[in-house]
Protein backbone atom coordinates (compact mmCIF):
# COMPACT_ATOMS: atom_id res chain seq x y z
CA UNK A 1 0.00 0.00 0.00
CA UNK A 2 1.17 3.54 -0.68
CA UNK A 3 -0.14 7.04 -0.02
CA UNK A 4 -0.33 8.34 -3.59
CA UNK A 5 -4.03 8.66 -4.35
CA UNK A 6 -6.35 10.57 -6.64
CA UNK A 7 -8.51 13.17 -4.97
CA UNK A 8 -10.74 15.78 -6.61
CA UNK A 9 -9.51 14.77 -10.04
CA UNK A 10 -5.75 14.89 -9.44
CA UNK A 11 -2.92 12.93 -7.85
CA UNK A 12 -1.94 13.65 -4.26
CA UNK A 13 1.11 12.65 -2.25
CA UNK A 14 -0.47 12.24 1.18
CA UNK A 15 -2.18 15.64 1.62
CA UNK A 16 -0.25 17.58 -1.03
CA UNK A 17 -1.23 17.91 -4.68
CA UNK A 18 1.55 16.59 -6.89
CA UNK A 19 0.74 19.28 -9.45
CA UNK A 20 1.59 21.94 -6.86
CA UNK A 21 4.88 20.25 -6.02
CA UNK A 22 5.87 20.20 -9.68
CA UNK A 23 4.96 23.88 -10.03
CA UNK A 24 7.11 24.84 -7.04
CA UNK A 25 10.10 22.52 -7.44
CA UNK A 26 10.14 21.77 -11.17
CA UNK A 27 10.50 18.48 -12.99
CA UNK A 28 11.84 15.83 -13.15
CA UNK A 29 11.03 15.49 -9.46
CA UNK A 30 11.22 12.60 -7.00
CA UNK A 31 8.43 12.68 -4.41
CA UNK A 32 8.45 10.35 -1.39
CA UNK A 33 5.78 9.63 1.21
CA UNK A 34 6.73 9.56 4.90
CA UNK A 35 3.58 7.62 5.81
CA UNK A 36 4.42 4.94 3.27
CA UNK A 37 7.98 4.58 4.56
CA UNK A 38 6.69 4.20 8.11
CA UNK A 39 4.02 1.72 7.11
CA UNK A 40 6.36 -0.43 5.05
CA UNK A 41 9.15 -0.48 7.62
CA UNK A 42 6.82 -1.36 10.47
CA UNK A 43 5.05 -4.04 8.42
CA UNK A 44 8.39 -5.64 7.58
CA UNK A 45 10.05 -5.29 10.96
CA UNK A 46 7.03 -6.52 12.93
CA UNK A 47 6.89 -9.68 10.81
CA UNK A 48 9.98 -10.91 12.67
CA UNK A 49 8.90 -9.88 16.17
CA UNK A 50 9.12 -13.49 17.39
CA UNK A 51 12.83 -13.63 16.54
CA UNK A 52 15.82 -11.75 17.88
CA UNK A 53 16.48 -9.62 14.84
CA UNK A 54 17.84 -6.41 13.37
CA UNK A 55 16.34 -4.88 10.23
CA UNK A 56 19.12 -3.13 8.32
CA UNK A 57 17.79 -1.00 5.48
CA UNK A 58 19.77 -1.43 2.26
CA UNK A 59 21.19 2.06 1.73
CA UNK A 60 21.81 1.50 -1.97
CA UNK A 61 18.03 1.41 -2.51
CA UNK A 62 17.57 5.02 -1.33
CA UNK A 63 20.42 6.87 0.33
CA UNK A 64 18.85 10.28 0.95
CA UNK A 65 19.81 11.52 4.41
CA UNK A 66 16.24 12.46 5.29
CA UNK A 67 15.11 8.92 4.49
CA UNK A 68 17.96 7.30 6.41
CA UNK A 69 17.26 9.48 9.45
CA UNK A 70 13.54 8.68 9.26
CA UNK A 71 14.23 4.94 9.18
CA UNK A 72 16.86 5.15 11.90
CA UNK A 73 14.36 6.90 14.15
CA UNK A 74 12.02 3.95 13.54
CA UNK A 75 14.73 1.56 14.79
CA UNK A 76 16.37 0.50 11.54
CA UNK A 77 20.00 -0.36 11.13
CA UNK A 78 21.75 -0.01 7.77
CA UNK A 79 23.31 -2.35 5.25
CA UNK A 80 26.08 -0.49 3.41
CA UNK A 81 28.30 -1.32 0.42
CA UNK A 82 30.75 1.61 0.31
CA UNK A 83 32.58 4.14 2.41
CA UNK A 84 30.24 6.80 1.08
CA UNK A 85 27.23 4.89 2.35
CA UNK A 86 28.95 4.51 5.73
CA UNK A 87 29.45 8.28 5.80
CA UNK A 88 25.78 8.81 4.93
CA UNK A 89 24.57 6.37 7.60
CA UNK A 90 26.73 7.93 10.31
CA UNK A 91 25.69 11.42 9.18
CA UNK A 92 22.07 10.35 9.60
CA UNK A 93 22.89 9.36 13.23
CA UNK A 94 22.55 5.62 12.64
CA UNK A 95 24.27 3.80 15.56
CA UNK A 96 27.46 2.18 14.27
CA UNK A 97 26.59 -1.10 16.00
CA UNK A 98 23.54 -1.28 13.73
CA UNK A 99 25.61 -1.12 10.52
CA UNK A 100 26.75 -4.12 8.48
CA UNK A 101 29.17 -3.68 5.59
CA UNK A 102 28.61 -5.82 2.49
CA UNK A 103 30.16 -5.72 -1.00
CA UNK A 104 32.90 -7.53 -2.89
CA UNK A 105 35.44 -4.71 -3.33
CA UNK A 106 36.00 -2.93 -0.01
CA UNK A 107 39.07 -0.68 -0.31
CA UNK A 108 41.66 -0.37 2.45
CA UNK A 109 40.58 3.16 3.39
CA UNK A 110 36.94 2.07 3.55
CA UNK A 111 37.85 -0.79 5.88
CA UNK A 112 39.75 1.63 8.12
CA UNK A 113 36.78 3.99 8.26
CA UNK A 114 34.43 1.16 9.24
CA UNK A 115 36.83 -0.14 11.92
CA UNK A 116 37.23 3.36 13.30
CA UNK A 117 33.44 3.71 13.49
CA UNK A 118 33.21 0.27 15.18
CA UNK A 119 30.43 -1.10 12.98
CA UNK A 120 28.61 -4.30 13.90
CA UNK A 121 30.38 -6.48 11.33
CA UNK A 122 31.82 -6.89 7.84
CA UNK A 123 30.20 -9.34 5.45
CA UNK A 124 33.38 -10.73 3.90
CA UNK A 125 33.25 -12.02 0.32
CA UNK A 126 36.70 -13.46 -0.40
CA UNK A 127 39.77 -14.87 1.34
CA UNK A 128 41.83 -11.93 0.05
CA UNK A 129 39.39 -9.55 1.72
CA UNK A 130 39.54 -11.55 4.95
CA UNK A 131 43.33 -11.28 5.04
CA UNK A 132 43.27 -7.57 4.25
CA UNK A 133 40.76 -6.80 7.02
CA UNK A 134 42.96 -8.74 9.43
CA UNK A 135 46.07 -6.78 8.41
CA UNK A 136 44.34 -3.42 8.73
CA UNK A 137 42.74 -4.35 12.06
CA UNK A 138 46.14 -5.31 13.49
CA UNK A 139 47.66 -2.04 12.22
CA UNK A 140 44.88 -0.17 14.05
CA UNK A 141 45.10 -2.37 17.16
CA UNK A 142 41.53 -3.51 16.66
CA UNK A 143 39.64 -6.75 16.14
CA UNK A 144 37.17 -6.86 13.26
CA UNK A 145 33.89 -8.68 13.70
CA UNK A 146 33.09 -10.53 10.49
CA UNK A 147 30.73 -12.94 8.81
CA UNK A 148 31.52 -14.75 5.59
CA UNK A 149 29.09 -14.44 2.72
CA UNK A 150 28.04 -17.91 1.65
CA UNK A 151 27.03 -18.43 -1.97
CA UNK A 152 24.56 -21.33 -1.71
CA UNK A 153 24.16 -21.77 -5.51
CA UNK A 154 20.39 -21.18 -5.40
CA UNK A 155 18.54 -19.81 -8.41
CA UNK A 156 16.45 -16.83 -7.20
CA UNK A 157 14.47 -16.80 -10.48
CA UNK A 158 14.87 -13.07 -10.93
CA UNK A 159 16.57 -10.81 -13.49
CA UNK A 160 20.13 -12.09 -14.09
CA UNK A 161 21.62 -8.68 -13.27
CA UNK A 162 20.19 -8.82 -9.73
CA UNK A 163 20.81 -12.50 -9.07
CA UNK A 164 23.62 -12.83 -6.51
CA UNK A 165 23.45 -16.33 -4.98
CA UNK A 166 24.41 -18.62 -7.86
CA UNK A 167 27.78 -20.24 -8.44
CA UNK A 168 28.41 -18.11 -11.54
CA UNK A 169 27.82 -14.81 -9.67
CA UNK A 170 30.70 -12.72 -8.32
CA UNK A 171 29.40 -12.68 -4.75
CA UNK A 172 30.56 -14.69 -1.76
CA UNK A 173 32.25 -18.07 -1.35
CA UNK A 174 30.85 -21.49 -2.06
CA UNK A 175 30.22 -23.71 0.95
CA UNK A 176 33.45 -25.72 0.64
CA UNK A 177 35.56 -22.56 0.33
CA UNK A 178 33.65 -20.98 3.19
CA UNK A 179 34.48 -23.78 5.62
CA UNK A 180 38.19 -23.38 4.91
CA UNK A 181 37.85 -19.60 5.18
CA UNK A 182 36.24 -19.88 8.62
CA UNK A 183 39.08 -22.16 9.72
CA UNK A 184 41.52 -19.51 8.52
CA UNK A 185 39.55 -16.77 10.30
CA UNK A 186 39.96 -18.63 13.59
CA UNK A 187 43.74 -18.26 13.25
CA UNK A 188 43.81 -14.56 12.40
CA UNK A 189 44.38 -12.37 15.48
CA UNK A 190 42.64 -9.33 13.98
CA UNK A 191 39.44 -11.23 13.14
CA UNK A 192 36.47 -12.34 15.23
CA UNK A 193 34.04 -14.55 13.25
CA UNK A 194 30.60 -13.77 14.65
CA UNK A 195 28.16 -14.40 11.81
CA UNK A 196 27.08 -16.10 8.61
CA UNK A 197 25.87 -14.05 5.65
CA UNK A 198 23.80 -15.08 2.65
CA UNK A 199 22.04 -12.94 0.03
CA UNK A 200 20.73 -14.59 -3.13
CA UNK A 201 19.25 -11.73 -5.16
CA UNK A 202 16.70 -8.97 -5.50
CA UNK A 203 13.03 -8.68 -6.51
CA UNK A 204 12.21 -12.25 -5.43
CA UNK A 205 8.51 -13.07 -5.76
CA UNK A 206 8.45 -16.47 -4.06
CA UNK A 207 9.76 -17.74 -0.72
CA UNK A 208 11.17 -21.03 -2.02
CA UNK A 209 14.61 -19.66 -3.02
CA UNK A 210 14.97 -18.04 0.43
CA UNK A 211 14.04 -21.24 2.21
CA UNK A 212 16.23 -23.43 0.01
CA UNK A 213 19.21 -21.18 0.74
CA UNK A 214 18.40 -21.06 4.46
CA UNK A 215 18.31 -24.84 4.75
CA UNK A 216 21.76 -25.08 3.19
CA UNK A 217 23.01 -22.41 5.57
CA UNK A 218 21.56 -24.29 8.55
CA UNK A 219 23.46 -27.41 7.56
CA UNK A 220 26.61 -25.31 7.19
CA UNK A 221 26.07 -23.77 10.62
CA UNK A 222 26.22 -27.24 12.17
CA UNK A 223 29.69 -27.72 10.66
CA UNK A 224 30.82 -24.39 12.11
CA UNK A 225 29.67 -25.42 15.57
CA UNK A 226 31.95 -28.45 15.40
CA UNK A 227 34.85 -26.01 14.91
CA UNK A 228 33.93 -24.29 18.16
CA UNK A 229 32.97 -21.01 16.49
CA UNK A 230 30.68 -18.69 18.43
CA UNK A 231 28.32 -17.67 15.63
CA UNK A 232 25.84 -15.12 16.95
CA UNK A 233 24.36 -13.55 13.79
CA UNK A 234 22.66 -14.96 10.73
CA UNK A 235 22.39 -12.36 7.95
CA UNK A 236 19.89 -13.47 5.31
CA UNK A 237 20.16 -10.30 3.24
CA UNK A 238 17.14 -8.80 1.53
CA UNK A 239 15.54 -9.32 -1.84
CA UNK A 240 11.83 -9.62 -1.16
CA UNK A 241 10.06 -8.22 -4.21
CA UNK A 242 7.31 -5.67 -4.74
CA UNK A 243 4.52 -5.26 -7.25
CA UNK A 244 5.60 -3.21 -10.25
CA UNK A 245 3.10 -4.74 -12.69
CA UNK A 246 1.50 -8.18 -12.27
CA UNK A 247 3.90 -9.62 -9.67
CA UNK A 248 2.41 -11.16 -6.53
CA UNK A 249 5.28 -11.30 -4.01
CA UNK A 250 4.68 -12.78 -0.57
CA UNK A 251 3.78 -10.41 2.24
CA UNK A 252 6.53 -9.83 4.84
CA UNK A 253 4.27 -11.51 7.41
CA UNK A 254 4.34 -14.71 5.36
CA UNK A 255 8.11 -14.43 5.10
CA UNK A 256 8.37 -13.89 8.85
CA UNK A 257 6.23 -16.91 9.66
CA UNK A 258 8.36 -19.10 7.42
CA UNK A 259 11.59 -17.93 9.03
CA UNK A 260 10.25 -18.32 12.56
CA UNK A 261 9.46 -21.94 11.76
CA UNK A 262 12.89 -22.57 10.21
CA UNK A 263 14.91 -20.78 12.91
CA UNK A 264 13.00 -21.73 16.06
CA UNK A 265 15.80 -23.99 17.31
CA UNK A 266 18.70 -21.67 16.44
CA UNK A 267 19.96 -19.26 19.08
CA UNK A 268 21.02 -16.54 16.64
CA UNK A 269 20.18 -12.92 15.99
CA UNK A 270 18.64 -12.65 12.54
CA UNK A 271 19.78 -9.74 10.36
CA UNK A 272 17.69 -8.73 7.37
CA UNK A 273 18.64 -6.21 4.68
CA UNK A 274 15.43 -5.04 2.98
CA UNK A 275 15.62 -2.20 0.50
CA UNK A 276 13.13 -2.36 -2.35
CA UNK A 277 10.34 -3.89 -0.25
CA UNK A 278 10.45 -0.87 2.07
CA UNK A 279 11.31 1.94 -0.34
CA UNK A 280 10.07 0.85 -3.77
CA UNK A 281 6.48 2.03 -3.59
CA UNK A 282 7.20 5.03 -1.35
CA UNK A 283 8.16 7.28 -4.25
CA UNK A 284 7.14 8.56 -7.65
CA UNK A 285 9.05 10.36 -10.37
CA UNK A 286 7.09 13.33 -11.72
CA UNK A 287 7.85 14.35 -15.29
CA UNK A 288 6.46 16.89 -17.74
CA UNK A 289 5.46 16.10 -21.30
CA UNK A 290 7.72 18.15 -23.58
CA UNK A 291 6.46 17.03 -27.00
CA UNK A 292 4.45 14.31 -28.68
CA UNK A 293 5.09 12.96 -32.15
CA UNK A 294 3.98 10.13 -34.40
CA UNK A 295 5.66 8.17 -37.16
CA UNK A 296 4.09 5.62 -39.50
CA UNK A 297 4.60 2.92 -36.88
CA UNK A 298 4.94 4.62 -33.48
CA UNK A 299 3.47 7.24 -31.20
CA UNK A 300 6.00 8.90 -28.89
CA UNK A 301 5.47 10.85 -25.68
CA UNK A 302 8.68 12.80 -25.07
CA UNK A 303 9.11 13.78 -21.42
CA UNK A 304 11.74 15.70 -19.47
CA UNK A 305 12.76 12.69 -17.35
CA UNK A 306 15.30 10.36 -18.91
CA UNK A 307 17.39 7.27 -18.35
CA UNK A 308 19.81 9.37 -16.30
CA UNK A 309 16.92 10.03 -13.86
CA UNK A 310 15.47 6.49 -13.82
CA UNK A 311 17.62 3.87 -15.50
CA UNK A 312 15.72 0.74 -14.48
CA UNK A 313 13.56 0.49 -17.64
CA UNK A 314 16.63 0.82 -19.87
CA UNK A 315 18.93 -1.36 -17.77
CA UNK A 316 16.55 -4.12 -16.68
CA UNK A 317 13.65 -3.64 -19.11
CA UNK A 318 11.62 -3.21 -15.94
CA UNK A 319 8.00 -2.06 -15.75
CA UNK A 320 6.95 1.07 -13.88
CA UNK A 321 3.34 2.16 -13.81
CA UNK A 322 2.78 5.54 -15.48
CA UNK A 323 -0.31 7.70 -15.09
CA UNK A 324 -1.47 11.27 -15.58
CA UNK A 325 -1.12 13.57 -12.60
CA UNK A 326 -4.34 15.32 -13.66
CA UNK A 327 -6.30 12.76 -15.73
CA UNK A 328 -8.12 13.93 -18.85
CA UNK A 329 -10.87 12.05 -20.62
CA UNK A 330 -9.09 11.30 -23.88
CA UNK A 331 -8.69 8.26 -26.14
CA UNK A 332 -6.07 5.68 -25.19
CA UNK A 333 -3.06 5.17 -27.45
CA UNK A 334 -0.19 2.72 -27.58
CA UNK A 335 2.90 4.86 -26.99
CA UNK A 336 6.57 4.83 -26.09
CA UNK A 337 7.38 7.21 -23.25
CA UNK A 338 10.90 8.44 -23.98
CA UNK A 339 13.35 10.98 -22.66
CA UNK A 340 15.62 13.64 -24.20
CA UNK A 341 18.90 11.68 -24.02
CA UNK A 342 20.58 10.81 -27.31
CA UNK A 343 20.23 7.05 -26.90
CA UNK A 344 17.60 4.75 -28.38
CA UNK A 345 17.67 3.00 -25.02
CA UNK A 346 16.40 6.13 -23.29
CA UNK A 347 12.83 5.22 -22.43
CA UNK A 348 10.57 4.94 -19.40
CA UNK A 349 8.02 2.66 -21.11
CA UNK A 350 7.53 0.96 -24.44
CA UNK A 351 4.26 -0.09 -26.07
CA UNK A 352 2.28 1.29 -23.13
CA UNK A 353 -1.45 1.99 -23.28
CA UNK A 354 -1.92 5.58 -22.08
CA UNK A 355 -4.50 8.30 -22.63
CA UNK A 356 -3.43 10.97 -25.09
CA UNK A 357 -1.41 13.71 -23.41
CA UNK A 358 -0.28 17.16 -24.47
CA UNK A 359 2.82 19.28 -23.98
CA UNK A 360 2.98 20.77 -20.50
CA UNK A 361 0.95 18.02 -18.83
CA UNK A 362 2.42 15.91 -16.04
CA UNK A 363 2.95 12.18 -15.72
CA UNK A 364 3.78 10.21 -12.58
CA UNK A 365 6.10 7.20 -12.78
CA UNK A 366 5.25 4.92 -9.89
CA UNK A 367 7.36 2.52 -7.77
CA UNK A 368 10.35 4.85 -8.07
CA UNK A 369 11.34 5.01 -4.40
CA UNK A 370 14.06 2.35 -4.68
CA UNK A 371 16.94 2.35 -7.16
CA UNK A 372 15.60 5.52 -8.73
CA UNK A 373 17.57 8.56 -7.62
CA UNK A 374 20.43 6.42 -6.23
CA UNK A 375 21.15 5.08 -9.74
CA UNK A 376 20.74 8.46 -11.44
CA UNK A 377 23.60 10.26 -13.15
CA UNK A 378 24.60 13.46 -14.94
CA UNK A 379 24.81 11.78 -18.36
CA UNK A 380 24.42 14.29 -21.21
CA UNK A 381 25.34 16.90 -18.55
CA UNK A 382 21.82 16.78 -17.19
CA UNK A 383 21.33 18.09 -13.67
CA UNK A 384 19.96 15.53 -11.26
CA UNK A 385 16.41 15.88 -9.98
CA UNK A 386 15.28 17.36 -6.70
CA UNK A 387 13.90 15.03 -4.02
CA UNK A 388 10.85 15.91 -1.92
CA UNK A 389 9.66 14.15 1.24
CA UNK A 390 5.98 14.71 2.05
CA UNK A 391 4.72 14.20 5.60
CA UNK A 392 0.97 14.79 5.69
CA UNK A 393 0.60 18.39 4.52
CA UNK A 394 4.25 19.22 5.24
CA UNK A 395 6.83 19.31 2.46
CA UNK A 396 10.55 18.79 3.05
CA UNK A 397 13.09 19.59 0.36
CA UNK A 398 15.19 16.47 0.90
CA UNK A 399 17.65 17.28 -1.89
CA UNK A 400 17.94 20.44 -3.94
CA UNK A 401 17.93 20.22 -7.71
CA UNK A 402 21.44 20.43 -9.11
CA UNK A 403 22.47 23.53 -11.02
CA UNK A 404 24.78 23.97 -13.99
CA UNK A 405 27.36 25.29 -11.52
CA UNK A 406 27.12 21.98 -9.64
CA UNK A 407 27.84 20.12 -12.88
CA UNK A 408 31.26 21.74 -13.24
CA UNK A 409 32.10 22.51 -9.60
CA UNK A 410 34.84 19.87 -9.41
CA UNK A 411 36.37 20.84 -12.76
CA UNK A 412 36.81 24.59 -12.45
CA UNK A 413 40.55 24.26 -11.80
CA UNK A 414 40.91 23.47 -15.51
CA UNK A 415 39.83 27.03 -16.31
CA UNK A 416 42.25 28.77 -13.94
CA UNK A 417 45.11 30.60 -15.60
Query: Do the annotations mark residue 371 as ligand-binding?
Result: yes
Give just the sign of the alpha carbon dihedral 25, 29, 33, 34. negative
Which H or E run contains 314? helix 312-316
Q: Is 103 left (phi over 0), alpha (psi -120 to 50) or beta?
A: left
Q: Is 195 annotated as a binding residue?
A: no
* Upstream peptide bond of 28 is cis (omega within 30 degrees of 0): yes
Is 404 annotated among the ligand-binding residues? no
The answer to whether the annotation marks 352 as part of a ligand binding site is no
56: annotated active-site residue:
no
Estimate to the nearest angstrom the gap between the alpha carbon of 345 and the chain centroid. Answer: 23
Answer yes or no: is 399 a known binding residue. no
Question: In whole angstroms, what is the distance from residue 27 CA to residue 187 CA?
Answer: 56
By CB atoms closer than 10 A (0-12, 13-18, 19+), residue 405 is exposed
3-state secondary structure of 63: coil
> Is 189 annotated to bind ligand?
no
Q: 244's torsion region: left (phi>0), alpha (psi -120 to 50) or beta?
A: alpha
Question: Which listed residue (56, 66, 198, 342) is catalytic?
Answer: 342
Residue 316 annotated in ligand binding = yes
139 is in an annotated binding site: no
Annotation-wise, does 131 bind a ligand? no
The two beta strands, 362-365 and 322-324, are antiparallel
Binding residues for substrate: 276, 312, 316, 343, 371
Binding residues: 239, 273-276, 312, 316, 343, 371
**Known catalytic residues?**
342
Amino acid sequence: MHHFTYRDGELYAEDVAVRELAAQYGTPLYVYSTATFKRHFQAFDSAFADLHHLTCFSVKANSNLCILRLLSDLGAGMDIVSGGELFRALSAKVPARKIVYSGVGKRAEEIREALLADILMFNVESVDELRRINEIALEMDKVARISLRINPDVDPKTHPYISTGMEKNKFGLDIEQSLEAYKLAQTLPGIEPVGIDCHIGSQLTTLEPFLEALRRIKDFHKKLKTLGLDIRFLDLGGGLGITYDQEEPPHPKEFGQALVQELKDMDLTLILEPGRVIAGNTGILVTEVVYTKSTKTKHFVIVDAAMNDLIRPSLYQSHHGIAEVVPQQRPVRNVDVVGPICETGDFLARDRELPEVKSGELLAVFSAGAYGFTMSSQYNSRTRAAEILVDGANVILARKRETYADLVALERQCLQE
